[in-house]
């Protein structure tokens, strides 16, 4: 399975794709939500893989970023993946192709608290009976009976004792063992997500049926019954996983075609804290089930499953009870704990109330683990080189709770960087080079106060360049981030944390030089458009004169200048050629976002998806800035037409020409 995410402005979405036999499965939705799943059957596996690759190219062209392999300094925020139901695995052998971008096998770290029990030898399935034979059908029937509770509408057919008896029968039946590989059965059960789509909270039921007392009582009773059935479903899932592990089903082996280990898939299947429709049985007697998710996590560790970095990362994404169990098991490398720390830090810095309090609790849990791994300071020597340490991540985000947790764990604030460190700071603007995550560099010798104050310098520089161009929501969030860093820098100064004397104001901010001829070229071309179309040329001249190219490159200035003069064009003439190139000036797109490109040729679609949208002309023609700096025109009727080798030439020869023509 491959996973992609798109986070821009107020939008935060994910998209996943995987191939099973000749079917292409996709899943999409908002980050943190369950998402929707689609399945498309094709004539062959080759056709399915070709379609999946085409869909991936389309999403990448729209700005989605693949998060299959997560880097510690620039992690993503995924949500729980959807997988084929185990009922499918119960009636046929598992034989899907490997994922398109498989992740290397993680290096598990044994638990520190207690030595794991020796796992039973994995059962070796006998030779599978011939498909269509009586033995093959009998094996499928055995698994269907054992895992029939996977279909929520059938959960009342068996008692808890019935579940166990049916599972024991399947485990003992050699015909069932020959139908599906052990790791496939374990993986299919582990991936099942909480079936809560039909559940409504009390307020929703009251709102929908409050005016009809009889119907209200009926729906309330229905919801109570549904919740009871789902609680029974959770109990059955947890008990079955533990039973499979005890029977020797491999806790560490990935199923064929699966991107993750069974433990990682189980963690992903757990509900996020935002899914509050059903109280989930995490641990302890207060839960509705006697076998809890914590019991399953401990069973995986006891049967030899190492706590991988990916499992920690998934647990840190709104699954804090699972994170507690995994951290207490002593699992994860410094990189994995840092990734979990990053997620908890972001949540603490950007949230308030109960959410922030919950994040603070797990920052306090992670801080000692970071200290034990040597990752709690300003830098950390990971397996792939030096990365930003936990203290740097907290300082550059203005996360005061995270700094407090580190200090409580024994981390000193007056330390200095031994090496250069690069961090990704989220700014929340597509106008900046590189998008919303800006590379931020701190030099060797910087103290923690230098890191905080250099971050503040960077935010001030970004604010001076961006102002209010991103819209009120994005701008307010950006300024709140700057204010958090400012407050933390002041706190460090008040505590007497020293400075190194090495910091040069604004030096850490990356800049892109703008050619000296570019501003006059853009200004003349846009002013020509305004004059030809009857706009307010005097006001356009004033606005353009006040704009400075800044340090963020030609494209940013072009968008800023177009945004300044665009509102001055007469509305009744916006469809004309000169104005039409400027219709996208408010979009700040990181790539074209057309919903339907079916009318374009394949080469035109490729250009639109891989480039950055500059503007539109008419209803079916777009100008696209390619990654190599060239500009091309893609249209429904004309295909692809090269316009200019670089942006300055495009402005001078195309917009300039239509501005005076």
Choice between 607 and 579, residue whose per-residue pLDDT is larger: 607
Q: What is the pLDDT of residue 488?
A: 94
Looking up tokens 């399947």 gives 170
- Phi/psi of residue 195, nearest 5 degrees: -85, 75
Q: What is the pLDDT of residue 77?
A: 29
Residue 399 has pLDDT above 90, yes or no: yes
> What are the pLDDT digits (tens) for 520-547?
988 988 888 888 888 899 999 998 998 8
Q: What is the pLDDT of residue 24?
A: 84
Where residue 165 falls among pLDDT bands split at 50, 70, 90?
confident
Rounded distance, CA 313 to CA 567, Å?
A: 46
Looking up tokens 């999946």 gives 52
Nearest to 274 by CA among 18, 518, 79: 79
Where residue 140 falls among pLDDT bands split at 50, 70, 90?
confident
Separation in Å, CA 413 to CA 110, 447, 493, 498, 551:
31, 8, 11, 9, 33
Residue 44 has pLDDT above 60, yes or no: yes
Reported residue count of the chain is: 661
Give 42: exposed, middle or buried? Use CB within 10 Å, 0-12, 13-18, 19+.
middle
Helix H or strand E segment including 19: strand 11-20
Region 16-26: what's the mean pLDDT? 83
Looking up tokens 């990654």 gives 627
Contacts of 46 (CB under 8 A, 6+ apart): none
Where residue 85 falls among pLDDT bands split at 50, 70, 90?
very low
Rounded distance, CA 486 to CA 414, Å?
A: 18
Q: What is the pLDDT of residue 3?
A: 83
Residue 47 has pLDDT above 70, yes or no: yes
Residue 507 has pLDDT above 60, yes or no: no
**Please, are residues 599 and 636 in contact by the beta-carbon 8 Å criterion?**
yes
Q: Beta strands 639-644 and 631-635: pairing type?
A: antiparallel
**Please, are residues 329 and 365 in contact by the beta-carbon 8 Å criterion?**
no
Where residue 26 falls among pLDDT bands split at 50, 70, 90?
confident
Rounded distance, CA 556 to CA 647, Å?
A: 11
Q: Beta strands 2-8 and 621-625: pairing type?
A: unpaired
Instruction: Please give the share of the chain, as a percent, with pLDDT higher than 70.
Output: 78
Rounded distance, CA 608 to CA 301, Å?
A: 48
| DSSP conformation class of 379 | E
Report how far Cα 37 is from the mean position of its chain's Cα atoms: 17
Which range among 25-34, 265-274, 497-506 has the greatest average pLDDT?
497-506
Region 409-419: what's the mean pLDDT? 92
Rounded distance, CA 353 to CA 331, Å?
A: 30
Question: CA angle 624-591-585, nearest 5°?
Answer: 75
Where residue 273 falls among pLDDT bands split at 50, 70, 90?
low
Residue 596 has pLDDT above 70, yes or no: no
> What are the pLDDT digits (tens) for 336-392?
899 889 888 988 888 888 888 888 888 998 999 999 989 999 999 887 788 899 999
Nearest to 339 by CA among 357, 318, 317, 320: 317
Residue 538 CB coordination number (10 Å): 10
Return left, alpha or beta for 496; rule: phi > 0 is left, psi -120 to 50 is alpha, else beta: left
Tokens of 202: 């009390």
Q: What is the pLDDT of residue 283?
A: 55
Choice between 420 and 573, residue whose per-residue pLDDT is larger: 420
Residue 201 has pLDDT above 50, yes or no: yes
Q: What is the pLDDT of residue 364?
A: 92
Residue 256 has pLDDT above 90, yes or no: no
Separation in Å, CA 500 to CA 296, 414, 416, 445:
49, 10, 8, 7
Residue 184 has pLDDT above 90, yes or no: no
- Coil/strand/helix, residue 423: strand
**Please, are residues 318 and 273 in contact by the beta-carbon 8 Å criterion?**
yes
Residue 590 has pLDDT above 50, yes or no: no
Report how far Cα 364 is from the mean position of its chain's Cα atoms: 24
pTM: 0.60
**Please, are residues 430 and 548 in contact by the beta-carbon 8 Å criterion?**
no
Kindly report each contact of residues 543-549 with a partner whose C-beta sits within 8 Å and lies 24 or more positions away, as own/partner.
543/568, 547/519, 549/514, 549/518, 549/519
> What are the pLDDT digits (tens) for 548-562?
776 667 877 887 788
Q: What is the pLDDT of residue 395?
A: 95
Contacts of 506 (CB under 8 A, 6+ apart): 457, 458, 460, 461
- Phi/psi of residue 438, nearest 5 degrees: -100, 135
> What are the pLDDT digits (tens) for 301-313?
888 888 888 888 8
Tokens of 206: 């009251």
Nearest to 566 by CA among 581, 588, 582, 550: 582
Mean pLDDT of the chain: 77
> What are the pLDDT digits (tens) for 89-138?
333 333 333 333 333 344 444 444 444 444 445 455 556 677 778 888 88
Residue 284 has pLDDT above 70, yes or no: no
Separation in Å, CA 476 to CA 170, 353, 433, 463, 471:
58, 19, 20, 11, 8
SS3 content of the chain, % helix, strand, coil (to 5): 45, 10, 40
**Please, are residues 486 and 452 in contact by the beta-carbon 8 Å criterion?**
no
Least confident range from 119-133, 353-367, 426-440, 478-492: namely 119-133
Rounded distance, CA 417 to CA 392, Å?
A: 10
Choice between 493 and 512, residue whose per-residue pLDDT is larger: 493
Q: What is the pLDDT of residue 491?
A: 94
């Amino acid at each position: 399975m491959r996973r992609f995410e798109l986070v821009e402005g107020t939008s935060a979405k994910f998209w996943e794709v995987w191939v099973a036999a000749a079917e292409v499965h996709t899943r999409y939705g908002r980050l943190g939500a369950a998402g929707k799943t689609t399945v498309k059957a094709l004539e062959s596996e080759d056709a399915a893989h070709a379609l999946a690759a085409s869909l991936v190219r389309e999403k990448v062209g729209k700005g989605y970023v693949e998060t299959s392999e997560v880097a510690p300094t620039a992690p993503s925020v995924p949500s729980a993946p959807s997988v084929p139901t185990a009922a499918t695995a119960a009636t046929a052998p598992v034989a899907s192709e490997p994922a398109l971008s498989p992740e290397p096998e993680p290096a598990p770290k044994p638990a520190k608290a207690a030595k794991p029990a020796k796992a039973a030898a994995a059962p070796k399935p006998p030779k599978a009976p011939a498909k269509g034979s009586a033995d093959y059908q009998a094996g499928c029937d055995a698994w269907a009976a054992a895992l029939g509770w996977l279909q929520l509408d059938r959960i009342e057919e068996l008692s808890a004792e019935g579940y166990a008896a049916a599972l024991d029968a399947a485990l003992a039946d050699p015909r069932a063992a020959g139908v599906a590989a052990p790791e496939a059965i374990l993986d299919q059960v582990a991936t099942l997500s909480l079936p809560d789509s039909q559940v409504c909270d009390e307020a929703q039921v009251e709102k929908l049926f409050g005016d009809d007392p009889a119907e209200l009582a009926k729906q309330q009773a229905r919801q109570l019954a549904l919740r009871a059935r789902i609680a029974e479903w959770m109990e059955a899932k947890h008990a079955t996983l533990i039973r499979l592990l005890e029977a020797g089903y491999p806790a560490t082996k990935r199923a064929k075609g699966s991107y993750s280990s069974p433990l990682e898939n189980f963690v992903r299947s757990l509900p996020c804290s935002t899914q509050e429709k059903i109280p989930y049985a995490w641990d302890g007697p207060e839960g509705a089930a006697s076998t809890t998710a914590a019991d399953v996590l401990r069973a995986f560790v006891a049967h030899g499953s190492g706590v991988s970095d990916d499992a920690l990362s998934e647990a840190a994404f709104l699954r804090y009870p699972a994170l507690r169990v995994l951290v207490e098991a002593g699992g994860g490398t410094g990189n994995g704990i840092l990734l979990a720390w990053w997620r908890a830090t972001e949540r603490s810095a950007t949230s308030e109330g109960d959410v922030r309090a919950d994040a603070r609790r797990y920052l306090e849990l992670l801080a000692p683990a970071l200290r034990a791994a040597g990752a709690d300071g300003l830098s950390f020597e990971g397996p792939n080189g030096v990365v930003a340490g936990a203290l740097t991540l907290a300082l550059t985000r203005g996360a005061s709770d995270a700094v407090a947790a580190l200090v409580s764990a024994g981390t000193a604030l007056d330390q200095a960087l031994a090496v250069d460190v690069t961090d990704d700071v989220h700014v929340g603007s597509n106008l900046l080079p590189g998008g919303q995550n800006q590379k931020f560099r701190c030099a060797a010798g910087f103290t923690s106060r230098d890191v905080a104050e250099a971050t503040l310098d960077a935010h001030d520089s970004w604010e001076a360049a961006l102002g209010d161009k991103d819209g009120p929501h994005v701008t307010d969030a950006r300024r709140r981030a700057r204010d958090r860093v400012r407050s933390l820098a002041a706190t460090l100064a008040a505590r007497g944390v020293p400075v190194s004397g090495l910091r040069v104001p604004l030096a850490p901010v990356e800049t892109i030089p703008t050619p000296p001829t570019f501003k006059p070229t853009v200004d003349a071309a846009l002013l020509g458009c305004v004059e030809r179309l009857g706009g307010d040329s005097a006001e356009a001249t004033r606005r353009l004169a006040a704009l400075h190219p800044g340090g963020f490159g030609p494209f940013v200035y072009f968008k800023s200048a177009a945004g300044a003069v665009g509102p001055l064009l007469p509305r009744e003439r916006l469809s004309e050629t000169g104005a039409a190139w400027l219709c996208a000036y408010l979009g700040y797109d990181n790539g074209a976002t057309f919903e339907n490109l079916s009318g374009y040729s394949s080469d035109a679609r490729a250009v639109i998806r891989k480039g950055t949208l500059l503007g539109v002309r008419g209803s079916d023609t777009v100008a696209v800035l390619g990654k190599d700096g060239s500009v091309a025109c893609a249209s429904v009727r004309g295909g692809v037409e090269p316009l200019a080798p670089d942006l300055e030439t495009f402005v001078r020869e195309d917009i300039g020409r239509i501005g005076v023509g």
